[in-house]
Amino acid sequence: MDFSNMADDFFLNLNLETTMRLPGTRETVLHFFESLQKEFPSMASFHRRGEGEHCLEADREAGAYRWAEVHSRRLCAGHFNPPNVEEAMRLHNWLLEHSVYYLGIGGLDIEALDVMFGFNLDYTGNRDQIVADALLCGSPLGTMLTDDVRPVEFEPSVTFALDEGCYLQARLSVETRCNSYQVRTAQYDDEPISVYFTVRRYPTPENTIDAAESFRRQCQIGQDYVGRLVIPDIVRPIAEAIATAQ
């Protein structure tokens, strides 16, 4: 399935958390990002966001771009509006392969590995109402919504285990970026409704995480769930509710 056509924006993010602090010397950080920039030439904007936080990214105004960040105990990256999932995975595969050599990230040091599939749906209005109309209609919770009741900060989230030991988990969440002030004044900003589906892997007591292999497996799981459930049961109903409201 081509996820890029399912919402106004699609993105695939990687988040790797470490137990030990990552190296942050000038030489190490620059050498790592210079090698990354050679592989992906459009990533030419380098800056420091805070203490121990460095970022390399392409032009965000282009609408489709890659980004990568190194924090004190976290390596994260994303491809916003990639042409397909395989192209988005290319950045993450490069990072996981080369972070071993440039940053010293090994299996023993990995605390958790996240792969997140994200979708943005643009709507200027009561985004909580849109999500409630799309996801609560006909459900027991939906009976709470009457003509004189308006949802405020309706952002459902659920996490579930995909194995018996709870070392492989998935989380579905919806973010509306709406609040009671906007609902009360009917002054809504241009923020989108975001749907996130994250597959997280923790190391087991018996085995450390093979980052590259786990990433491939987590992507397979994410694509399966997104294609079978998230798109038809979450993203598409929200998109239809937006179309009906406009």
Bridge partners, residue 115, by sequence: 14, 199
**Contact at 8 Å (CB) between 55 and 49?**
yes
Give pLDDT, residue 199. Answer: 98
Q: Average pLDDT over the chain, rounded to whole?
A: 94
Coil/strand/helix, residue 76: strand
Q: For the whole model, what pTM was predicted?
A: 0.95
**Contact at 8 Å (CB) between 52 and 72?**
yes
Give pLDDT, residue 2. Answer: 80
Residue 231 to residues 48, 63, 81, 84, 216, Cα–Cα distance (Å) = 36, 22, 16, 15, 21
pLDDT tens column, 164-216: 999 999 999 999 999 899 989 989 999 999 999 999 999 999 999 999 999 99
* b/e 140-175 (16+ beta carbons within 10 angstroms → b): eeeeebeeeeebbebbeeeeeeeeeeebbbbebbbb
d(CA 106, CA 210) in angstroms, rounded, equals 8
Give pLDDT, residue 142. Answer: 76
**Two tokens, residue 13:** 């993010």
C-alpha angle 200/205/206, rounded to 5°? 105
Give pLDDT, residue 89. Answer: 96
Give pLDDT, residue 145. Answer: 75
Give pLDDT, residue 230. Answer: 97
**Contact at 8 Å (CB) between 82 and 10?**
yes
Give pLDDT, residue 141. Answer: 78
Give pLDDT, residue 243. Answer: 95
pLDDT tens column, 114-158: 999 999 999 999 999 999 999 987 788 777 777 777 888 889 999
Q: Where are the domains of the chain?
A: 3-124+151-245
81 Rama class: left (phi>0) / alpha (psi -120 to 50) / beta: left
Give pLDDT, residue 165. Answer: 96
Mean local confidence (pLDDT), 204-229: 96
39 Rama class: left (phi>0) / alpha (psi -120 to 50) / beta: alpha
pLDDT of 12 above 90: yes
Bridge partners, residue 137, by sequence: none
pLDDT tens column, 23-46: 989 999 999 999 999 999 999 999
Give pLDDT, residue 112. Answer: 98
**Two tokens, residue 131:** 């999500």
Give pLDDT, residue 116. Answer: 98
